[in-house]
Amino acid sequence: MAFLLPIFGFLCGLGLASAMKTSSLKSILSSWLARCFIPAVIIYNMVFYQAGSLALMLFSFSTAVLMFYLFRWLLKDSLRALCISYLNLAWLGFPFALALFGPEISAAMVALYVGGSIFGNIWAVTAVSSERLPWSSVIKKAALSPPVCAVVIAGLCRAAGVQHLEEHQLLDWLYMAAKIGMSFTGMCVLGMWLRTTRVYWHDLLSSGRIFAMKICAGVLICSLTYYCIPIPNIENYIGVMFMLFCLPPAANIVALETHYQGTGTSARYIASGTIMSCAAISIYGLMLHVFV
């Protein structure tokens, strides 16, 4: 299911783009993704997070912030920096983590995903804006963005004791529906953009250079975190924490770019980054199998 649903969404996007004009449909799906599905996933995971998850959420969030500003400074391109720092933890990160580390790593992946998704959706306000905004406007726009509202709602739910409910099957079903909707709409919009997006050899070379820099940064950051920051059970999580630096850009970026800016430039970055990521994670998995 983790692989088939996004593939189905992607193929639907390709098919729809071939059969009809999809500009209005892209806008509708992007709005659903940004205003409904992603906030619902954030609220559920923040309300029902497990003990020790907060440190991993903070690691994912702070690492993404660091990578965003580092690569924005290096590349002078906010959208490209967002594609480097906002990662595909939903439909690629989870299956890869389960394959490499087993089902016991799923709770850690949820925490890493929440931190990364909060970062991506907040920083998209500045990264995909078509004009330079004063900091007051950026802060106001970010404060009113769906993910920040989701964090506030989750805090209110925890204060009300929702996390202690013994029966919350309805919430579980809503959460599953939101995850399905998030995966499908994100990949469907990506498919619509890729139908008219070409990936050239120089795109792959550029993504390869960026992945080499990301992995070097990952070795340094994870080493410093392992030896200097007291995260509970970090020896069990350090492998999946490093895997973050091997993941491709989030497919949701192109939908968020569509929602906030009306363009799809990131589709090319996502396509080439996904190809290079599959190669990087294959090598990483082989090294884990051989040396661990």
Write out pLDDT tens, residues 194-218: 676 677 888 889 889 999 999 999 9
- Tell me, what's the pLDDT at 30? 76
Average pLDDT (224-234) is: 87
Average pLDDT (278-289) is: 86
Give the pLDDT band (50/70/90) at residue 240: very high
Least confident of 38-52, 119-133, 248-262: 119-133
Containing H/E element for 251?
none
- Tell me, what's the pLDDT at 18? 72
- Tell me, what's the pLDDT at 211? 93
Give the pLDDT band (50/70/90) at residue 119: confident
Query: CA 71, CA 13: separation in Å to the nearest integer?
Result: 30
- Contact at 8 Å (CB) between 246 and 252? no
Given a cut of 70, is residue 292 above it in pLDDT? no
Give the pLDDT band (50/70/90) at residue 244: very high
Of residues 144 and 288, more confidently modeled = 288
Give the pLDDT band (50/70/90) at residue 187: confident
Residues of the chain with pLDDT > 90: what percent?
Answer: 19
In this prediction the pTM is: 0.74
- Tell me, what's the pLDDT at 147? 72
User: DSSP character for 164?
Assistant: G
- Tell me, what's the pLDDT at 91? 63
HSE (side-chain half, CA atoms, 13 Å) at 119: 30
* Mean pLDDT over each residue of the chain, to the nearest integer: 81
Of residues 193 and 35, more confidently modeled = 35
Residue type, position 72, single letter:
R
Q: Which of 90, 84, 93, 38 has its CA nearest to residue 64?
A: 84
Q: At what angle do helices 252-260 and 169-194 cross, to 10 degrees?
A: 80
Containing H/E element for 149?
helix 146-159
Given a cut of 70, is residue 137 above it in pLDDT? no
